[in-house]
Structure 1
Amino acid sequence: MERWPWPSGGAWLLVAARALLQLLRADLRLGRPLLAALALLAVLDWLCQRLLPPLAALAVLAAAGWIALSCLARPPRLPVATRAVLITGCDSGFGKEAAKKLDAMGFTVLATVLDLDSPGALELRACCSSNLRLLQMDLTKPADIRHALEFTKAHTTSTGLWGLVNNAGFNDVVADAELSPVATFRSCMEVNFFGALQLTKGLLPLLRRSRGRIVTVGSPAGDMPYPCLGAYGTSKAALVLLMDTFSCELLPWGIKVSVIQPGCFRTGEESVRKVDHWERRKQLLLANLSQELLQAYGEDYIEHLYGQFLHSLRLALPDLSPVVDAIIDALLAAQPRRRYYPGRGLGLMYFIHNYLPEGLRRRFLQAFFINPCLPRALQPSQPSPTPTQDAVQDPAPNLGLSPTEAQ
């Protein structure tokens, strides 16, 4: 029996009318999610016409279209008005781009930089309004954090502080955890965890008063064991757990906490300078390895790791707008998400990490980021290493620390 086409057409007209209205109000974006939803609706339409009576098909298709458009709609946003926000790590990358975008939207932006004369700081001075204030802050120095707290209180007396964006991050070693100096783990924790903790705690009285927002840039390396990012990933895992704790504890105060887990983006300076920087870090790592570790792993192994890492940097996305958009949504959405995952392939990555066997997870991360070769001692042609005097002594790495500090 031939089906009447009008119920299906009526449902599509309803869906099209609502989609057009949402597009005109900028509540909906043209993109792959919308196209995927329309494709699924078309499949559902085909099934309904063959399995259901006309009126039931109309009801199911219209309801499915309405729900899909509701899910795709942007959440309502709060007005910018005179809101003030503090962003850390604005010398480059996400921090710098977020500061520029928020300033253009009308926010009062307090942007922290490591160096007030850095290229990023000079760019912000040149292209932003007088509402943007720059201040120097090193998150490893309590005196700098205290000064930032006083600066923030002094510059938000009339507006209050609406948001804190914990963006600053640090990592300077790409190597297995055994090869990474303990000092590197401490440095990552000082910047990525303890610095963010001290700054956030210091600003909580202002944020409680405004019932504002805390937005923190984490990393998927804190959720899954990325090869050769043990120090960085460990610090980010601690930071994200801290933010989840804050999210629960600060809910009665009206403070909303969001964590952004970005994919692989090109956030540093120009590629030539990045290559020079990582070449210096590699040479310093090699110079400070014990003889036993150098024999076990081999210089070729470390050269391979850094070559793979630089290759992944070249493949990183140069457009930082997905992360900046996530920061803005976390600051202004009436009901912000607790997690944002901007970037290419993150959905597949988290699916594999959460649901597939451990061996497949490991191989996927290696193929995606760094695929290490076999250490020298594990290669078939190499004899097993024997303990050396260097291995017994296990000297502290020479990274500018006194022996007491290294211990």
Structure 2
Amino acid sequence: MWLYLAGLVVLYHLLRWYRERQVVSHLQDKYVFITGCDSGFGNLLARQLDMRGMRVLAACLTEKGAEQLRNQTSGRLETVILDVTKTESIVAATQWVKERVGNKGLWGLVNNAGICSPTGPNLWLNKEDFAKILNVNLLGMIEVTLNMIPAVRKARGRVVNVSSVMGRVAFFGGGYCISKCGVQIFSDSLRRELSYFGVKVAIIEPGYFKTAMTKGDSWVLYFKEQWGKTSTEVKEIYGENFLASYLKIVAALDQHCSEDLFLVTDCMEHALISCHPAQE
């Protein structure tokens, strides 16, 4: 009996493995729009998909980031400047995308742009600190999605939203974990709504990876900056010993984070090119 059940489990996973590795056809004709391509996951994914022969439309926050990316890729890849916190920038980028994809529509939308600072214990922060992160990681992502969905729907394509393991477990206070939890809920509701139009929605949940945004010295600087802004009362409540212990833990995390960003971008690529991609 147990051997029979074990066989069924193995067969199920083999079939699932085979099914998820079926790749969609004509990838060279498909357009993918990626936000946050100056560095990190977005930059690597843009280069990865370009090497696959796909038509990459890469959104960068700075012209410097866009130029560096163009210098590392083929002539197929095109860049646009995008600030996801500004409606006029999103509208302009949407029009730019529509002009390029035409009647084919947009096969892939990858919402990757994000920030993690200001962050720290909640009592060190104010409303504006929370809003700064939410405006980029959640509200900006939602506005980009709402503008791009008509083009994605036309292609019966994919939406890939980058959340985080911290969207499930809050490691620290501030807007980051809140924003990533919001990304997951928005993505779940979007998946149900767009399934009627043949559009698939996937969530990517990276753990702790070494990027420009998350390397240990950056986190230490973030926390020190917030500590410096706190009131005298808050400093008295927490004390210098708490700050020293907190910074020690944060610095130690850098030794345990992965440098293999392909672990994440391979999941993104799977969500875009698999005939039957995993949802998370």
Does the alignment pair 1:111 with 2:67?
Answer: no
Match of 1:75 among 21, 28, 38: 21
Matching of residue 336 in structure 1 with residue 269 in structure 2:
no
Per the alignment, residue 194 of structure 2 pairs with 250
Q: CA RMSD, aligned part only?
A: 2.3
Of 39, 63, 74 in structure 2, the residue corresponding to residue 92 of structure 1 is 39
Structure 1, residues 213-242: CA drift from partner, whole Å, max 9, x if none?
A: 10001011111222x244100011112111
Letter paired with 2:248: G
Query: How much does 1:68 deviate?
Result: 4.5
**Residue 149 (structure 1) shift:** 0.8
Which residues in structure 2 correspond to 1:43-58 (within 5 Å)?
A: none
2:69 is the counterpart of 1:124: yes
In the superposition, the TM-score normalised over structure 1's length comes to 0.64
Map Cα deviations across residues 51-75 of structure 1 (whole Å, 9 max, x no partner).
Answer: xxxxxxxx88876654443243343
Cα distance in 1, alignment partners of residues 235 and 8 from structure 2: 64
User: In structure 2, which of residues 237, 246, 269 is the aligned counterpart of residue 305 of structure 1?
Assistant: 246
| Offset of residue 167 of structure 1 | 0.5
CA deviation digits over 1:228-283, x for unaligned, max 9?
24410001111211111111111111111000111111121795xx62x4454334
Conserved? CA contact 1:88–1:166, under 8 Å:
yes
Are the structure 2 counterparts of residues 183 and 302 from structure 1 closer, same or farther at C-alpha, using a change threshold of 3 Å?
Answer: farther
Name which of structure 1's ranges 217-226 and 64-73 shifts more when overlaid on structure 2: 64-73
Aligned residues: 278
Structure of greater Rg = 1
Higher RCO (CA 8 Å, separation ≥ 6 residues): 2
Please say if 1:143 is aligned against 2:84.
no
Q: CA separation of 1:161/1:279 partners in 2, compared to 1, >3 Å: closer, same or farther? A: same
| TM-score normalised by length of structure 2 | 0.91
Q: Which residue is equivalent to 1:202? A: 147
Question: Could you tell me whether the CA contact under 8 Å between 2:35 and 2:42 is conserved in 1?
Answer: yes
For 2:170 and 2:220, how far apart are their aligned partners in 1?
24
Q: Deviations for 1:149-184, whole angstroms, at most 9, x for unmatched residues?
A: 111111212642101000111111342112223212
Alignment of 1:350-369 (within 5 A): none
The 1:290–1:253 alpha-carbon spacing in structure 2 relative to 1, beyond 3 Å, is same
SS in 1 for 2:140: helix
Q: Give the fraction of aligned pairs with identical amino acids, expressed as a percent.
A: 29
Q: Distance in 1 between matches of 2:214 and 2:120?
A: 23
1: CA distance, partners of 2:101 / 2:17: 35
Q: Which runs of 5+ in 2 are unaligned?
A: none
Q: Matches of 1:187 and 1:216 in 2, distance apart? A: 19
Superposed displacement of residue 287, structure 1:
2.4
CA displacement, residues 330-362 of structure 1 (integer Å, 9 cap, x when unaligned): 1111122211xxxxxxxxxxxxxxxxxxxxxxx
> Within 1, Cα distance between the matches of 2:269 and 2:203?
12
